[in-house]
Amino acid sequence: MKKITLVLMLVVIISLVAVQTSYAGVDFDQELFKELAKNKNKIPKIDIPDYKRVELENGMIIYLVKNDELPIVELTGYIKGGRRQEKKDIAGISGFMFEMMNTGTKELSEQDFLRYKELHGIGFNFGVNKDYFKFSGNALSTDKEALISLTADILRYPKFDAEYFKRIKQEKKRSLAQAKTEEDSLLDMYFYRNLYEDHPYSFSSDLNLKMKALDNITPSSLQKFHRRNVAPNNIVLGIIGDIDLSQMEKLVREQFSDWSKRETRIRQPEIKENKDDHNKVILINKPDATQATIKMGYNFFSNSFEDKIPFEMANRVYGSGRFGSRLMENLRSEKGYVYSVYSRDNYYELGGDYYITTEVKPAKSDETIAAIKKEMLSIKRGKNKISEDELFKIINRYNALFPKVYNSKLSILNKVIYNAEIRDRKPNYMNEYIQEYNNLDAATAQKVFAEYTYPNRFLTVIVGKKQDILPEFENQGIDVEVVEIGT
């Protein structure tokens, strides 16, 4: 009954949020987009809720926030390290470990674990990112003790030699085999394998490597990886909801304070840029493909990049993926080659990447790639500079979007923890970010985009039917490395 009640309540909450944010998923036509862009949105200010920060003697950090708007308790947590803690021979072990942890514990068999979650209406999930692991949970406030108790059990007492180990390994193999039939998965595998090479940042996309590494993942290797990474002094836990702060702090101390701290080492593997990849074109031959799926990009800066905000705004002018962006105007509105095309700049602790991706008719692959580079060069060389009007539209949309993204105290708390504990920023960084992009002018955006775009460094990966794509490149005298699937 509790499970049903919680589900119904969450459905209502999600529905309300969906109504507020549904516009974000709408495929606007040009006229509607232009009409919406005319209204000047107020510069938002994110109200950070009052929170209590507690550090236990074992180094575990706790954030507590009271929010009695609904009778629920939600938690958000970070484990420092992330994908970069993996090594090549155990690539993919993080996801495997967390799936085992969220299936059963030393005290709870798989069946008992499911029954306990259903009885108390508990939701719990893990996620793996390049520089940190993430977990979240929720329950009705009447089941807050059960939620915190189960969280402690999951984090502290995993059972890696359980009978479901073999089943999960087989499920992983089937999932990886299935992914190798999909264009997007193949695209990412060969793009990031070449861009990051043997660096852990490439592991999440390297299907072949993860398939091979499964043979090395055992209950013993899982236990060792857990011990090296999941420790109280490596964890930040945020709890928000219909709670009494003092009582919740006491409950957390009861569940976690006797967990001894352990030495953990965050790996710092160096990213080595391979200049041989500059201007390389790789074609993954997929005979049943009907489109050419393209990803082109290069190594970029780490998250300490000082010009991140002006570059991000300038890059949205170039390739936000929405009507009005340079790439969409050129390749969709004018040429009609693509349905969607966008560019992204990604920043991580040890380095980042910049890429552009789209799908196009095979015969138009080379023309599309040339048009993407030409559009970048037109900004970079000052032939078609970023205008104040273009920048205003991007900033204006961000100002409309931010209140929608951070429309709950949980989402705000999550970002506060991320900024303060993972990125070593000020807790109020969200509002500093908003002020900085609102103070940006077109001249600065133009200067930064011109300085930090590198059209002569593109590594281009294409997934499609070789016989429909290769001749166009050969006619242009462009060398193409052809990869047959399975290699």
User: The domain that contains 73 carries what CATH number?
Assistant: 3.30.830.10
Identify whether residues 421 and 473 lie together within a single domain.
Answer: yes
Identify whether residues 237 and 291 lie together within a single domain.
Answer: no
Find the length of the chain.
487
Neighbours of 346 (CB within 10 A): 15
Domain termination residue (choose one: 257, 290, 309): 257
Percent of the chain with pLDDT over 70: 92
Judged against a pLDDT cut of 90, whether residue 394 lies above it is answered with yes
The mean pLDDT value for 284-298 works out to 98
Identify whether residues 284 and 250 lie together within a single domain.
Answer: no
CA-atom Rg of the chain in angstroms = 24
Identify whether residues 288 and 246 lie together within a single domain.
Answer: no
Q: Is 38 helix (H, G, I), strand (E, B) or coil?
A: coil
Q: What is the pLDDT of residue 207?
A: 98
Confidence label for 272 from pLDDT (cuts 50, 70 and 90): very high
Measured CA to CA, the distance from residue 121 to residue 327 in angstroms comes to: 47
The mean pLDDT value for 66-91 works out to 98
The mean pLDDT value for 153-157 works out to 98
Confidence label for 359 from pLDDT (cuts 50, 70 and 90): very high
Quote the domain boundaries for residue 175. Answer: 52-257
Measured CA to CA, the distance from residue 444 to residue 311 in angstroms comes to: 9
Owner of token pair 């939600």: 74
Measured CA to CA, the distance from residue 384 to residue 337 in angstroms comes to: 22
Identify whether residues 337 and 413 lie together within a single domain.
Answer: yes
Identify whether residues 342 and 230 lie together within a single domain.
Answer: no
Identify whether residues 286 and 434 lie together within a single domain.
Answer: yes
Amino acid sitting at position 13: I
Judged against a pLDDT cut of 80, whether residue 171 lies above it is answered with yes
Q: What is the pLDDT of residue 39?
A: 83
Closest CA to 241 of 76, 67, 408, 417: 67
Judged against a pLDDT cut of 90, whether residue 4 lies above it is answered with no
* 400 falls within a domain: yes
Backbone CA torsion sign across 328, 435, 69, 148: positive
DSSP line for 467-481: HHHHHHHHHTT---E
Answer yes or no: pTM beyond 0.85.
yes
Judged against a pLDDT cut of 80, whether residue 126 lies above it is answered with yes
Residue 39, classified by CB atoms within 10 Å of its CB into exposed (0-12), middle (13-18) or buried (19+), is exposed
Could you tell me which residues come within 8 angstroms of residue 197 by beta carbon, excluding any fewer than 6 positions away?
272, 274
Q: Is 103 helix (H, G, I), strand (E, B) or coil?
A: coil
Judged against a pLDDT cut of 50, whether residue 14 lies above it is answered with no
Q: What is the pLDDT of residue 17?
A: 39
Measured in whole angstroms, the distance separating CA 406 from the mean position of its chain's CA atoms is 17
Q: What is the pLDDT of residue 35?
A: 54
Cβ pair 338, 331 in contact under 8 A: yes
Q: What is the pLDDT of residue 24?
A: 37
Identify whether residues 307 and 337 lie together within a single domain.
Answer: yes
Identify whether residues 196 and 297 lie together within a single domain.
Answer: no
Cβ pair 464, 362 in contact under 8 A: yes
Number of domains in the chain: 2
Measured CA to CA, the distance from residue 440 to residue 76 in angstroms comes to: 33
Identify whether residues 201 and 99 lie together within a single domain.
Answer: yes
Identify whether residues 358 and 463 lie together within a single domain.
Answer: yes
Q: What is the pLDDT of residue 18?
A: 40
Mean pLDDT value across the chain: 93
Q: What is the pLDDT of residue 70?
A: 96
Backbone CA torsion sign across 478, 484, 485, 487: negative
Judged against a pLDDT cut of 90, whether residue 128 lies above it is answered with yes
Q: Is 358 helix (H, G, I), strand (E, B) or coil?
A: strand
The mean pLDDT value for 449-472 works out to 98
Identify whether residues 390 and 300 lie together within a single domain.
Answer: yes
pLDDT tens for each residue of 28-78: 455 545 555 568 999 999 999 999 999 999 999 999 999 999 999 999 999
Judged against a pLDDT cut of 90, whether residue 11 lies above it is answered with no
The mean pLDDT value for 431-456 works out to 98
Q: What is the pLDDT of residue 485?
A: 86
